[in-house]
Amino acid sequence: MRTIHTASLAIFTSFVFVGCETTTQSNSSESTATAMAPQPESTQTAYVFSWGSLPSDIADPRGGMTTGTPVTFVEPRSLPLESIKQADSAFQKDRAAILSLAGDYKASFHFLETMGLFPEHEPVRPYHSWATERVHVLEDNGDFISLQHTIVMYFQQEDGSVMGPMVMKHWRQDWTYEDTDLHTFRGSGSWERDTQSHESVKGAWSQSVWQVDDSPRYEALGKWEHDGNRSAWTGENSWRPLPRREYSARDDYGVMEGFHRIVITPTGWVHEQNNWKRVSGNSDEYRAHELGIDRYELISSPSLEAANAYWEKTGPYWAAVREAWKDVYAKRDRFALETKYEGRSQFEYHFEYAGKLDAGEPYDPEEGAAFARSTIERYLTDAPQNGGY
C-alpha cells in the first residue's frame, strides 16, 4: 500500500480528481480569460445537454486524466432499502438512509455550466472525473453520524501492470439531528455561527462538510423525505467556498450559492447540486449557473481494504484534529482562514504528520493534540481572505 503524502499528492491529483471538497492547489494554467474567451471555430461538433451542438473542443470535458483500473459493480438493490422499510419512525428511517451512504464506491463527478449572466459569456467545458473510495462510519451517537471518505486508487500502467493501492484521506460529512448551532460559510474565507430556534429545526438534519484536512467547508439544514421507494434529503439554500475544480480555473467569483440533494438509488446514492456563481458575499451580482451530479455507485472490486490500515494507524491523530476544531467552533462566533502559512497549505502539515504515523512511528496523544491545535491556530484570523479553500 502507498499512502498519499505531501510529496506525492501533486502526482496523484494529476491522475485523478480528488473531489469537490479538496484543499489541494491545482497546476492548471486555465484562467478566467481563456475559459470565457470566444473559442476557435471548429468544423466538428458534439451534443451537450442543455446547449445542443457545440464545437468538439468545448464539448470535451476537462478534469482529472485518470487511468484507474476497471471496477466491478454490485447488483442493484430494491427500494426502499430494507433498513429503511423496517424502521419504525421517521427518525429511524432518516438514520437508516444516512448510514446507507457508507460503502465502497466508484464516485464520478459531473458539472455543467448551464447559463451565463453577463454579455461576454461563452459556453465553457463541462467537468468530469472519477475515483474509487470507501465511506465508513467514523462515529454514530444516535442523533449524530459522521461519515469519512477515503480514496483508494489503483492505476493502469502503459505496460499493463497495476500501480497501487494509493490511499488518501478525503472529505468528511457530519449529520446532526435538529441542530441549532451551525457555522456557515459567509464568503471571503470566513465562517460564522448561525443559531437556529428549536422550532425551526424540528425533524431536520444538518449536513456539515469538511475538507481533506478536517477544516470546515459548508453546512446546511435539510429534511429527509421517504415517499414510497424514494428517500431523499434536500438542503436549504446555502453558501459554499469554491471547489478546486473552479478556483483553479476561475477568479471572477467567490461564492457558490444554491441547494443540494442526496437521493438513495438502487446502485448507491446520488448527490445533486444546483449552484449559482456569486461574485462575492458582499455583492448581489452573479456570473453563471451550474448543475452538478456526483454519482456514488457500489462496487465489489477492486478491494478498498487499504483504507482500514491507514485509519488504524492515523485515526487517533485525526480524532485530535477534529477535537481541535470543536474547540474553535465552541469559542469563536466568527473566524476566517489564511490559505498559506510559511508558503504551505494547512493540509500539508496535517498530512505530513499523519504520514509519519502511517509509516510506523508511534503516536503520542499529547504531542499529536498539541500539533493539531497549533497547526490550526496558525491559519485562524479575523480578517477576510481571498483564495481557494
Residue 195 neighbours by CB distance under 10 Å: 8
- Asked if pLDDT for residue 310 goes beyond 60, the answer is yes
- Residue located via cell numbers 499528492: 9
Ramachandran area for residue 52 (φ above 0: left; ψ -120 to 50: alpha; else beta): left
- Residue located via cell numbers 465552541: 330
Q: Which residues pair with 265 in a beta bridge?
A: 268
- Asked if pLDDT for residue 37 goes beyond 80, the answer is no
| Contact indicator for 27, 9 with CB cutoff of 8 Å | no
Give the model's pLDDT for residue 21.
Answer: 42
Residue 188 neighbours by CB distance under 10 Å: 17
**Mean pLDDT score of the chain, rounded to an integer?**
90
* Nearest residue to 344 (alpha-carbon basis) of 16, 64, 9: 9
Residue 90 neighbours by CB distance under 10 Å: 13
- Asked if pLDDT for residue 166 goes beyond 80, the answer is yes
114: phi then psi, degrees, rounded to nearest 5: -95, -20
- Asked if pLDDT for residue 35 goes beyond 60, the answer is no
Q: Strand order in 181-187's β-sheet? A: 181-187, 190-195, 334-337, 380-381
CA distances from 4 to 10, 152, 234, 297, 348 (A): 9, 10, 33, 23, 11
DSSP string, 196-262: --TTTTTT-EEEEEE-TTS-EEEEEEEEEEEETTEEEEEEPSEEEPPPHHHHTT--S--EEEEEEEE
* Nearest residue to 224 (alpha-carbon basis) of 74, 81, 329: 81
pTM: 0.91
Q: How far apart are CA 373 and CA 40, in angstroms?
A: 51
Give the model's pLDDT for residue 67.
Answer: 84
Residue 177 neighbours by CB distance under 10 Å: 18
Q: Is 332 helix (H, G, I), strand (E, B) or coil?
A: coil
Give the model's pLDDT for residue 47.
Answer: 96
The cell for 175 is 449529520
- Asked if pLDDT for residue 19 goes beyond 90, the answer is no
Q: How far apart are CA 31 and CA 20, in angstroms?
A: 19
Higher pLDDT, 5 or 105: 105
Higher pLDDT, 31 or 326: 326
- Asked if pLDDT for residue 58 goes beyond 60, the answer is yes
* Least confident among 150-159, 266-275, 299-308: 150-159
Provide the residue ranges of all domains of the chain, joining segments of one domain with +. Answer: 2-40+47-306
Q: Cα 334 vs. chain centroid, distance in angstroms?
A: 22
